[in-house]
Structure 1
């Protein structure tokens, strides 16, 4: 039985026995409620971006103090991400650690999100896009590169956090709440997520709809050919004039070029917007 289920059962028995909950038991149940509340968006983001959901959930819990921090409760920022989101931000005092592991307070600007989902998706995109000076900064958090969640945690601890004990804190939460079985096994390497090759520098969005492939020969790519990726393509005329299903949309940030992942029968790939006619999107 998974630990999060055990914790709920423990709370029920304790309340039945004494008629009220002790502080520790209620605390444990609030953690379970936090995990349940963020479960769906974390699973969706980790599958879409091919990341370890257990690590994302544990980080969200640690960074937001299980959803009790002002930044998370008022601004939906669950990962302590600095900067601005769609021009919106909030300035707060934050604790940072120096090279010796000593903490000090400083003021910083943090992103303010419209929803929990936006926060989780933006963080997942950060792990995929890296930084402007290094788009592959977090590549060892990607499931195709990290053989276990611990490798992903080590990479994040090295580049994302200043706390020298960050990795152990994240891994303790993962182990205590059995997050690997709940979030990683459901998006394992046997999952369809492995067929989605993410390109750094591309903004992805789930999209649904139909379109018609233009006449002639087009190039069908395995992934969006971004500025730092020489994506494999194949020329095909078999799709000409066919109606295809839209699966995803990707926009190359540097050039604002729009691409669509299409599916026709057993054929799936990415084509540029200019290769499509009669595009009907339902998002």
Structure 2
């Protein structure tokens, strides 16, 4: 039985009826077997699956009143598919169109214990695939949610012990995936601070021409386009970043004393105009501005 034949059967029977349920169940079961074989032996099989948008077709079947047997077989097929897939590229393609998040959010009949068991098993299998490269695929930007976690956690205190164990395992996998990204972020921050300490060492040499050039480059290439551009006011965002910017810069680059932030904006033009006229900010002025900055943030 070829995959093209199965595709034709599934497309021909796109509307679920009492007369084609058994045929659809068998076609879905055979589909998972052929996809796993194709992933390991013939990449063209999986390419055909993606080209024809079969994951979207699975979702279309789910959204009909398709009955428990088709729902169970769909969940089984998806579980087998994600559990056995080896190709990273194929995995990325499967996750890339947000169909998986739509399947996770689908309102199955969870009063059916068998459907619930296969659903949780599917979510657990997905959580095993979480890593630094795949975790972003599971974030739904339109709703600002992480369905793999938010849907699974609803069954955290389920009466069935195996469901509770699976959900706890899933949450650990999700946390591990997030902290992989967090560790990378912390490493990047540490490296960033190392660069600041190095710049501070250069400035501490008190070589006027080098300091002048370095400060110009820092303002034009780093502070203005990156730091200050990221400090635009948003009423829905807590402004902790303002304090972080001040703290990190002040704690490392002691010599860059012309950096003044007030209410999230850099008084770079003031610094430039004062310097152009040969009147750099005096120490007392700097202290006053910094003090006002802290109170105004």
Q: TM-score range by the shorter chain?
A: under 0.3
Q: Greater Rg, structure 1 or structure 2?
A: 2
Higher relative contact order (CA 8 A, sep 6+): 1
More strand, by proportion = 1
TM-score, structure 1 normalization: 0.26
More helix, by proportion = 2
